[in-house]
Copies of this chain bind each other. A is one copy, B any other.
Amino acid sequence: MKVALIGLGSVGRGAAEMIAKKDLGLTITGIADSKSGLINNAGIDIVSVLATKKKTGSCGTPGVTAADVVAKAEYDALIEVTPTNALSGEPATGYIRAALNRKKHVVTSNKGPVALYYKELKELARKNGVEFRYEATVAGAIPIMHVLEHGLAGNEILAIYGVLNGTCNFILTRMAHEGLTYEQALLEARELGYAEADPTYDVQGIDAAIKLVILANTIWGNGVKLDAVDRTGIDLLTADALQLADEQGCTIRLIAEAIPRKNLLRVSPRILEKNHPLVTQGTLNALTLETDMAKEITLIGRGAGSVETASAIIGDLLFIRDCHVQRP
């Protein structure tokens, strides 16, 4: 199966390296970063392209753009892994629309387009008889979308609870275990590369809320948007609050919840017993699904990382390969 790869940051590089390393029957025919692009319908030597990118900062020819690759390369599936813009969803949404309109499957790790235009993009994919997949957008390596789509197919999903932001979970873990203040824990998270210079997006729960919107749309197809999420971050939590919880055998986690029967979409710090399955340590993510048949199912795993995210992208690609391109 032929794939085109748009975006060569940490996620794109991880995916490219895994495609090059593993014998998955995937050939990259187009590749682009923000400055250049490359098309070779016979197959790109991805190892040499990654080496060039490392040396020069560019993956291909300066005249060739990502839009060119999307529009002109021969491929079955587009891998869209440019950085998330949660406000406009661009330029990712444009690439995704163009590929779907060419009747190409799309796999993305980009939360912007999915959170903003879920219904439109799913419908566009359906109309064109292709898949629009986005496993990598929520909870990193945890295959939550596959579980919802297939593993728990036929179940009514009554509620979903999740630890969806590794940065917040790291900060809360460190505050609880070491008695650090929020500021001290944030500093540590920054030093370890878990938090951005401007941590607003993570610590105010925006990232978790965007993921919750993606989950809610996936499960209930209800077209909810970010502003429907009742949101409280962790940035005002004190060391005292965690100490108090600890004294009662509990701790605090930033929990994203969606419970349609209560019309509830919320991201907020919650007090949980220490042995609650959602109390994961460090940057781990976790999700609990409440369903009518399977009852509660909990999944725990890494929420980020170059290779971990590649796992989600490759899972989506192989599903497309097996269920569409090389039909059983």
Contact = CB atoms under 8 A, between A and B. Distances in A.
Given A135-B151, A142-B297, A147-B151, 10 more contacts: A141-B297, A152-B311, A153-B322, A155-B311, A275-B275, A275-B279, A277-B277, A298-B298, A298-B300, A327-B327
Contacts of A154: 18, 22, 24, 311, 314-315, 317-318
A258 to B, nearest CB: 19
A271 to B, nearest CB: 17
Contacts of A150: 143, 146, 150, 315, 318-319
A292 B300 CA distance: 16
Interface in A249-297: 274-275, 277, 279-281, 291-297
Size bin of chain A's contact surface: 35 or more
B291 A311 contact: yes
Contact of A153 (B280, B296, B308, B318): B318
A323 interface: yes
B307 A296 contact: no
Contact of A18 (B131, B279, B293): B293
A244 B237 CA distance: 37
A280 B299 CA distance: 13
A297 B301 contact: yes
Interface string A114-136: 00000000000000010100010
